[in-house]
Amino acid sequence: MKGTLYLVPNTLDLGAEAVDLREVLPDGVIRQAALLHHWVAEDARSTRAFLKRVANIEALSKPLQALDIQELPRPRKGSREGIPASEWHALLEPALKGQDIGLISEAGLPAVADPGSLLVGAAHEAGLRVLPLAGASSLLLALAASGLNGQSFAFVGYLPTDASARLTRIRELENLSRRQSQTQLVIETPYRNGALLASLLEGLAPTTVLSVSCGITLPEGWTRSAKVAAWRSQPVQMPDRVPAVFAWLAA
C-alpha cells in the first residue's frame, strides 16, 4: 500500500502578526497536520514554526525535532528542467513505502501559485493518492470580495518588474478582460505593492474596475473595489510588508 500526499493549507499571515490557527484552518486540517511524520516544504524553518502552532492546539504524534521535513528543489522558470528525477523520487519515497506526506506552502494552499505543483505532478506520475485539505486561498478570497466576474477569471501571476514592460502587459490583459469579460488577477512581492498599484492606475482605463485585497484574513485586512478614475482621485498608501491581490475587469 502506498501512502497519501496531503496538501496541507497554511495561514495567510506570513510576515505579519500570527493569527489563531482555528480562525483560518478547520479542526480536521489541524488534526491531520499533527499526525504527519513526513513533510515537504518551501522552507523548513517556517514549517517548524507552523507545527509549533499546531502543537499548541493538537499534540503532535512525534516530537517536533523527530519529524522529517524536506525542502522543495527550486526549479528555474517553473519547470523541472535541471532537476534529476531522483530528487522527486527521494521526496516521495516515504509515500512510496506506505507512509503519508504533507506538502505545505509558505502561505495559503499548496500548489496554487506555488512551486509545490511540481511535486504534486510527480506524485500523480508515481501513482500516489493526492488529497487536498480545505483552507484559505488568497486568490479566491480576493475574487469573492471584489465584486468582479467570478464566473470567468484568470490568475496571471507576477507582472514584469521593468516599468515599461509592466505597462505593456497591463494593457494587454485589460484588452483581454474587455474582450472576454474576464477578471484578471495578479500578485506581487509586498515591497513592490506600491509600484504595481501605480502602474495599474497609469495603464488601466478610467472606466475599468480595479479591486485590491490586502492582508486577507488578518484583523486589519481590507478590500477596495472601484473604477480606476475613483482610485486616481482617492489614492491609498499600500503597505510594503503585507501581501496583496490585485484584480481588474474592463468595461
Task: Convert the pLDDT of each residue in 42-93 to its tens digit.
Answer: 999 999 999 999 999 999 999 999 999 999 987 655 454 567 778 888 999 9
Is there a single domain that holds both residue 100 and residue 206? Answer: no
Is there a single domain that holds both residue 54 and residue 69? Answer: yes
Please, are residues 138 and 245 in contact by the beta-carbon 8 Å criterion?
yes
Is there a single domain that holds both residue 30 and residue 103? Answer: yes
Q: How many domains does the chain have?
A: 2
48 versus 240: the higher-pLDDT residue is 48
Q: What is the pLDDT of residue 85?
A: 74
Is there a single domain that holds both residue 110 and residue 188? Answer: no
Rounded to a whole number of angstroms, the CA Rg of the chain reads: 20
Task: Convert the pLDDT of each residue in 211-226 to its tens digit.
Answer: 999 999 999 999 999 9
- Asked if pLDDT for residue 209 goes beyond 90, the answer is yes
Is there a single domain that holds both residue 77 and residue 144? Answer: no
C-alpha span between 5 and 178 (Å, rounded): 40
Is there a single domain that holds both residue 202 and residue 224? Answer: yes
Is there a single domain that holds both residue 50 and residue 73? Answer: yes
Q: Any idea what the CATH number is for the domain that residue 125 is in?
A: 3.40.1010.10
C-alpha span between 68 and 44 (Å, rounded): 10
Domain coverage including residue 69:
4-132
Single residue among 89, 108, 132 that ends a domain in this structure: 132
Single residue among 92, 114, 132 that ends a domain in this structure: 132
Residue 198 confidence class, pLDDT cut points 50, 70, 90: very high
Residue 229: other Cβ atoms inside 10 A: 15
Single residue among 114, 132, 150 that ends a domain in this structure: 132
Average pLDDT over residues 14-25: 87
Three-state SS for 168?
helix
Average pLDDT over residues 26-30: 96
Task: Convert the pLDDT of each residue in 147-162 to its tens digit.
Answer: 999 999 999 999 999 9
Backbone angles phi, psi at 58, to 5 degrees: -135, 125
Q: Exposed, middle or buried, 52 (CB in 10 Å: 0-12/13-18/19+)?
A: exposed
